[in-house]
């Protein structure tokens, strides 16, 4: 006879959730993620170099073939090289990440890559930091070991608050969310702000405040586009992106970008609500039924135009001059 009852089933469900949770999944695959991150970093480096050189030379030669001078062709090649480096880096990171993850299944280890003191080691450590920013796979000590977290913090107050932020888990998106749940939103935001205040370069701080402020000022002073986002949405995206970027300031680049994008999206939604409250709930001109009127006539619509007909075409007698 089965001994299953409601209590047993509830307990089983709770334990199943723990085993199948995100943190447990990351812990079980930590070695694979470390390998994938390191290999992705090296792959991005190689892909960027190859893609940049190939596109740069190609664009330079195309400019020369079209009759451009050496200087102009060089600038054309440089612009193409930058684009090629971005594309090549992305492709290389993807290929390297897959190869690293597969290699981990056969006993491969990223330790030899991250221990190197050359550009390859730097790329491998950078790749691991980006994966950590999204997954939170590393402990504070492990993150410090690959030169992340509080590794580059200044002495004194900067070092103190960097270590507090790192130990609280603010170096990754999952860690940030977990810290807010454990310590409260206020304490997390205060720790984040103090770490940024003591460690962010003054020029960077000025840009992080000045650029969004300029964007807001431009939006508020410019005429509102009836076919684009409202002023509230635009301002919300600017401010939300800035706040998200500051919140992700302790994280590696991948986490910082994700936090900024999330903040921009949330700010845009809030701003859209403000636009609705002020009566701008639709884009474009609105017809009598409250629907957005199309800018171009559809097949069922006729556009009135002036027509000139001769007396004969109109069925009238021609005027006879004397």
97-137: pLDDT as tens digits? 999 988 887 777 788 899 999 999 999 999 999 999 999 99
Q: What is the pTM of this model?
A: 0.75
| In contact, 42 and 120? CB cutoff 8 Å | yes
State pLDDT tens for residues 18-68: 445 788 899 899 999 999 999 999 999 999 999 999 999 999 999 999 999
286 beta partners: 292
Q: Distance (Å, rounded) from C-alpha 99 to C-alpha 90?
A: 14
> DSSP states of 33-45 as a string?
HHHHHHHHHHHHH
DSSP state of 304: -
Q: For the residues 160-176, what does the mean pLDDT come to? A: 95
321 to each of 66, 316, 318, how far by Cα in Å?
Answer: 66, 15, 9
- As a residue count, the chain comes to 322
Return mean pLDDT, the chain. 84
Measured torsion, CA atoms of residues 18, 23, 27, 30, in degrees rounded to the nearest 10: 150
pLDDT over 70 at 13, yes or no:
no
| In contact, 33 and 131? CB cutoff 8 Å | yes
Residue from 116, 93, 117, 112 nearest 36 by CA? 93
Residue from 202, 298, 278 nearest 236 by CA? 278
Q: Distance (Å, rounded) from C-alpha 157 to C-alpha 162?
A: 8
CB atoms inside a 10 Å sphere around CB 320: 5
CB atoms inside a 10 Å sphere around CB 128: 31
State pLDDT tens for residues 214-257: 888 988 898 888 888 889 999 999 999 999 998 999 999 999 99
**Secondary structure class of 198 (helix, strand, coil):** helix
Q: Is 20 exposed, middle or buried (0-12, 13-18, 19+ CB in 10 A)?
A: exposed
């Amino acid at each position: 006879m089965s001994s299953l009852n409601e209590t047993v089933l509830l307990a089983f469900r709770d334990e199943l959730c723990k085993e199948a949770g995100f943190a447990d999944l990351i812990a079980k695959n930590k070695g694979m993620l470390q390998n994938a991150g390191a290999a992705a970093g090296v792959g991005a480096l190689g892909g960027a170099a190859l893609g940049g050189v190939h596109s740069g030379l190609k664009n330079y030669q195309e400019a020369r073939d079209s009759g451009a001078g050496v200087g102009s062709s060089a600038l054309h090649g440089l612009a193409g090289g930058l684009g090629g480096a971005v594309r090549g880096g992305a492709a290389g990171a993807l290929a390297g990440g897959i190869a690293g993850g597969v290699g981990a299944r056969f006993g491969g280890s990223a330790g030899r890559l991250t221990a190197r003191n050359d550009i390859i080691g730097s790329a491998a450590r950078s790749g691991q930091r980006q994966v950590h920013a999204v997954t939170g796979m590393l402990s504070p000590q492990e993150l410090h070991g690959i030169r992340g977290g509080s590794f580059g913090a200044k002495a004194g107050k900067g070092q103190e608050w960097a270590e507090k932020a790192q130990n609280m888990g603010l170096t990754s998106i999952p860690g940030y969310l977990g810290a807010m749940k454990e310590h409260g939103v206020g304490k997390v935001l205060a720790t984040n702000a103090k770490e940024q205040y003591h460690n962010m370069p003054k020029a960077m701080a000025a840009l992080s405040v000045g650029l969004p402020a300029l964007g807001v000022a431009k939006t508020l002073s410019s005429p509102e586009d009836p076919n684009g986002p409202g002023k509230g949405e635009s301002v919300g995206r600017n401010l939300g992106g800035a706040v998200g970027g500051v919140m992700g300031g302790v994280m590696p680049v991948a986490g910082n970008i994700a936090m900024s994008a999330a903040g921009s999206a949330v700010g845009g939604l809030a701003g859209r609500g403000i636009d609705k409250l002020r009566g701008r709930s639709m884009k474009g001109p609105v017809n009598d039924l409250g629907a957005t009127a199309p800018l171009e006539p559809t097949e069922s619509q006729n556009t009135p135009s002036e027509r000139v007909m001769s007396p004969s075409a109109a069925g009238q007698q021609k005027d006879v001059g004397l």
